[in-house]
Chains A and B, each alone.
Chain A
Amino acid sequence: MSPSFGRGAMTNSIPDVANADVIMVCGGNPAENHPGVARFINMAREKGGIVISVDPRYTRTSVLSDIYAPIRPGTDIVFFNALVNYILTNKKYFEPYVKNYTNASYLLKPEFGFKDGYFSGWDDAKKKYDYASWQYQTGPDGAPLTDPTLQNPDCVFQRMIKFYARYTPALVEKVTGMKQDLFLKIAAAYSATGVPDKSGTLLYAMGLTQHTKGVQNIRAFAIVQLLLGNMGLPGGGVNAMRGEANVQGSTDAGLLFGNLPGYLAAPSAAAHPNLKTYLEKITVKNSFAENSPKFAVSLLKAWWGDKAQPENDFCFDYLPKFSRPHSFMDIFDDMYAGKIQGLLLWGMNPLVSGPNFEKTAQGLEKLDWMMGIDLFESETHRFWKRPGANPKDIKTEVFLLPAASMVEKDGSATNTSRWLQMRYRSVDPIGDCKEDGAVMYMLVQELKKLYAADANAVYPGPILDLTWGYGGEHYNADEVFKEMNGWDVKTKQQLPGFATLKADGSTTSGSWIYCGMYPPAGNLAKRRKPDKQGIGLNLEWGWAWPMNRRILYNRASCDLDGKPFSDKKYLVHWDAAGKKWTGIDVPDFIGTRAPSDPLGAAPFIMVPYGLGRLFAPGGMTSDGPFPEHYEPMESPVKNAMGSVQNNPLAVTYKSDRDKWAKTGGDEFPYICTTYRVAEHYQTGNITRKLLTTTEAMPETFLEIDPELAKAKGIKNGEYVEVSSARGKIKVKAFVTPRLQPMVIDGKKCHVVGIPWNYGFFGEDPAGLANTVTSANMLTPQAGDPNVRIPEYKAFMVNVRRA
């Protein structure tokens, strides 16, 4: 989403789903994984909304749909791109929006092109792109040249018409297995939102992201939304439903390997040798991100306090610099290669959640030590006792610290709607369990002591100089949020918002996007006033980043003059008399910038020149400025688009445990996908330890269509062996008509599916029997080149009676 709109977050909110006229659920299963969303889907339907469910399986979400269409796992781009083609060919786009609020009119360099499966600039020897041609033609001031009439053959719009023409309804049927007439029915229903008084939304989750082209899947639909003018409206947007309660909060706080807090780029050794270069590179001219240096310096001030001074680059050298990506898969590949000595596992169960179970397990065996901090002992903590392992041969020393549960600690969760909500300890932790904040506090204090005591310590500054208060051992969550918001260094006053941050070291902010949540008035994430009358914005319930804006890019709901395109979809407008933007939502815009001002009609404020990107320039999406379909790493068919089978930049690894099924081979002929069930939370380390949830969904199962079951002599509820090139498991079969065989390129294909919530330790039958039933015994380590998310959702298996 970031390459399309400027920010990577869900644009609208969960309650806002109720405002949609058409809801496309594709690559997500909110009824099972985000059941709270189901309520708002039901509300939207009662108001006349239409729900489209696109999924390889008829799921518990599909029950709520008006149109259901099956799709082969890993072919979403074909479906979305055909939707784009349909919108372009049938002129269903919202023209004023496309012309004024997207980069449709920008002229591309004539040398940009696409041929034989590659975009221009492909270097077959180096296996990478030269991005020089993926650029706009620019004028003397550096601004892109445009053709407002959209007629110039080099403008983005005309290039799109050419690029997308290949994605026909016939191709959809051939590649995805979705029948043409069904596709056309969906295309008609969804593109009907390309008018001012209608909005459509996409609800998605890991079904779109966990692919070797995960980022392009989202890009593909983001383009649909820009063409239909569905961004910045109530009931519109691109809405990523996060996998757990605080995923948004953790990435906001810098959890992702490529980010510092607030999505500032993590510095790299090669690109950012010093603060000056770093600040230059994160400054994006002609967008709000030209303020990035203020955010970065305030972050350094928050972390290293008075030690961070202009003379020492505000301690920029204290930040670790990466030399290559350290994503989840990279870490475990390194571990398998014996390059990692110790592992701190904080509330994580990677043996169950990571791809290629056996490679993960054997990697863990090469560690000297592992420390887990968790509610319960997990499969990962006892990897050395897993079936087939010989504890005598494993030297890893394993420690486990008992953690307090969510009801035993204070803190906050930032939900998928970007809402920060404080929550409170209701009972004291039992036994020796400690709050995560207290454990972290003590850990850092101990490190500080060790570094201080060691005269030969290597580079002790980053630890010794780290500001570290937060109420000490009696850790106080409120103190953490005070720091994340930031204060004026001189007056110690909390800051009212990120507009007041400075690059001179006079302000602090631990995460600039949270600046404004803890102004002098107090912690706004404590607010609890529900929105009973309005459209569900809930402005006084918790606090949403940025600056309590509930629907991002809401300037785009107005025309060039700042008047709403439709009263039915009203959010904000330009108050000419008061000379400011105002409305029922907080304007996601510079409050006093008039529509007639420079960039006054450029709603995507984080993007240079403020227009939504139909074309993503310069390699910001490394594998293509437009989304192109490539087959999953393992597939039953050759790529119908051309000779390039897989994403040419897909991430793969080269250990002896990275094995692959042959394309279209007989050994592993069935497509497999993985998912979760409503009854279990993630790896089940909580829910499989509790009998109440285990009772409701006790065992994993392989869902199989009745035709395949018949052919293989498999009966419902009986055991089957599922195998891939990586491993095999024995699980029960769930023969269900909710899966149906599909015809792909003239060949009958069967899709099977398995939940990944199960392992080998818990109150569930497999857990009690110490039997591995992890779906990730089967999955490969392959990833998206932009974010390195693993391809859990499409791979090949074989199935037989066990």
Chain B
Amino acid sequence: MARLAYLFDSSKCVGCHGCQIACKQWNQEKATRTTFNGSYQNPPALSPDTRTIMRFYENFEQDTIPQLNILKVQCYHCGEPACVKACPSGALSKTDKGITAVDPSKCIACGYCHSACPFTVPAIGKHVNKCDMCLSRTEHGDDKQKTSTPACVKTCPAGALEFGDRDALVAKAHKRVEWLKSRGHKDANLYGEKVLGGLGVMSVLKYPPASYGLPPNPTMPLELFVWKDLFNPMGLLMLVGAVGAAAGHYLLALRQSRDDHHHHGGDESKGKEEMKG
């Protein structure tokens, strides 16, 4: 079956927060009390109540036009999802359409997915919370009722979000990148075509990924291969064993170091806020 994907075109996005709010409404997530924190960005991070946010990056050097770079942040639905590999309980899985799906009833809230994710996306409350490409719409929706596209795509007024066959979107995105280059954006690029087995959410960017707080070359943590190769057959059972405890400890340590790393990376890219679970 053809792989589904989103295409987010940052050069068309106006950062209106429509996608963020539509996501909350459709998925019946709680709105939280926030305060102004020095940016248009709010809520400040993905959370057990928030599956997608807009991040804003403001750059300016003397005598250049200020940049207001907007990124829609959510689960990237990697082709090779580290979270699925890391998940010991089977709560995370990959559907045949390429959606990284969540089954909250199976989740034990261990947080390994958050640690393993190259973007530290999955948020852990009572259970894991992250974008599931609106499975309730994309798998069970109705074209006629116009409920077959994810809520965020459906609501985008600027036409910055598209959803559908991944190959078609890649082709479209390349054209768009060429178009941006022809309009003088020499650094225009498509983020996520090849990395991590190809992302299921690709972003057209006017500037290099770092200007949007994105790691240029995200990789699956090496430790995860060790963990999976050594211990995978034992699955959940080993969590109760000594080996499992050691491995678990290792992953939690990794989570800590990755969060630190991300914080640092954020400063470099002049990001206002960090993605944190």
Chain A residues close to B by CB (< 8 Å): 31-32, 35-36, 38-39, 42-43, 46, 58, 60-64, 66, 68, 678-679, 690-701, 706, 716-717, 732, 734-738, 740, 763, 765
The yes or no answer to B95 lying at the interface (CB within 8 A) is no
Nearest CB of chain B from residue A294's CB, rounded to whole Å: 41
Chain A residues with Cβ below 8 Å from B226 are none
**Contacts A60-B15, A692-B24, A694-B31; is A31 near B68 (CB within 8 Å)?**
no
> Once bound together, how far apart are the Cα atoms of A238 and B94, in whole Å?
51
Closest 7 CB pairs of A and B: A737-B60, A31-B14, A717-B38, A691-B31, A38-B158, A699-B36, A35-B157
Q: Return the CB mask of B1-42 against A: 1 if under 8 Å, else 0.
A: 000000000011111111011001100000111111111101
Which residue of A is nearest B69, CB measured? A63
Chain B residues with Cβ below 8 Å from A690 are 31
> Once bound together, how far apart are the Cα atoms of A213 and B14, in whole Å?
30
> Once bound together, how far apart are the Cα atoms of A690 and B30, in whole Å?
12
Inter-subunit contact A60/B183 (CB<8 Å): no
Chain B residues with Cβ below 8 Å from A698 are 33-36, 42
The yes or no answer to B216 lying at the interface (CB within 8 A) is no
Inter-subunit contact B35/A31 (CB<8 Å): no
Inter-subunit contact A678/B17 (CB<8 Å): yes
- A-B pair count, CB < 8 Å, reads 116
Inter-subunit contact A35/B14 (CB<8 Å): yes
- Scoring B37, B43, B70 by chain A CB atoms within 10 A of each residue's CB, the highest score goes to B37
Chain B residues with Cβ below 8 Å from A58 are 65-66, 68
Chain B residues close to A by CB (< 8 Å): 11-18, 20-21, 24-25, 31-40, 42-43, 58-60, 65-66, 68, 70, 157-160, 179, 183
> Once bound together, how far apart are the Cα atoms of A95 and B274, in whole Å?
57
Nearest CB of chain B from residue A270's CB, rounded to whole Å: 48
Which residue of B is nearest A691, CB measured? B31
Chain B residues with Cβ below 8 Å from A31 are 14-16, 158
Nearest CB of chain B from residue A722's CB, rounded to whole Å: 15
Contact residue among B16, B37, B42, B65 (Cβ-Cβ distance under 8 Å from A32): B16
- Scoring A691, A696, A697, A735 by chain B CB atoms within 10 A of each residue's CB, the highest score goes to A696
Inter-subunit contact A62/B31 (CB<8 Å): no
**Contacts A35-B157, A64-B12, A697-B17; is A46 near B179 (CB within 8 Å)?**
yes
Contact residue among B18, B21, B66, B179 (Cβ-Cβ distance under 8 Å from A738): B66
Inter-subunit contact B68/A63 (CB<8 Å): yes
Chain A residues with Cβ below 8 Å from B39 are 734
- Scoring B31, B59, B183 by chain A CB atoms within 10 A of each residue's CB, the highest score goes to B31
> Once bound together, how far apart are the Cα atoms of A765 and B33, in whole Å?
8
Question: At the interface, is chain B mostly helix, strand, loop or mixed?
Answer: loop
- Scoring B13, B14, B179 by chain A CB atoms within 10 A of each residue's CB, the highest score goes to B14
Chain B residues with Cβ below 8 Å from A32 are 14, 16
Contact residue among B12, B40, B68 (Cβ-Cβ distance under 8 Å from A62): B68
**Contacts A42-B159, A58-B65, A737-B60; is A678 near B36 (CB within 8 Å)?**
no
> Once bound together, how far apart are the Cα atoms of A735 and B11, in whole Å?
24
**Contacts A60-B68, A696-B20; is A732 near B14 (CB within 8 Å)?**
no
Apart from A38-B159, A678-B15, A738-B58, what 7 extra A-B contacts exist at CB < 8 Å? A31-B158, A691-B31, A695-B43, A698-B35, A717-B37, A737-B58, A738-B68
Nearest CB of chain B from residue A341's CB, rounded to whole Å: 40
Chain A residues with Cβ below 8 Å from B158 are 31, 35, 38-39, 42
Inter-subunit contact A734/B36 (CB<8 Å): yes
> Once bound together, how far apart are the Cα atoms of A36 and B157, in whole Å?
5
> Once bound together, how far apart are the Cα atoms of A31 and B60, in whole Å?
21
Chain B residues with Cβ below 8 Å from A61 are 14
Chain A residues with Cβ below 8 Å from B159 are 38-39, 42-43
Nearest CB of chain B from residue A686's CB, rounded to whole Å: 13
Chain A residues with Cβ below 8 Å from B59 are 737
> Once bound together, how far apart are the Cα atoms of A417 and B15, in whole Å?
24
Q: List 17 A-B contacts (CB under 8 A).
A: A31-B14, A31-B16, A35-B16, A38-B159, A62-B68, A63-B14, A64-B11, A66-B183, A679-B16, A691-B33, A692-B31, A699-B36, A700-B36, A737-B60, A738-B58, A740-B66, A765-B33
Nearest CB of chain A from residue B37's CB, rounded to whole Å: 6
Nearest CB of chain A from residue B138's CB, rounded to whole Å: 22
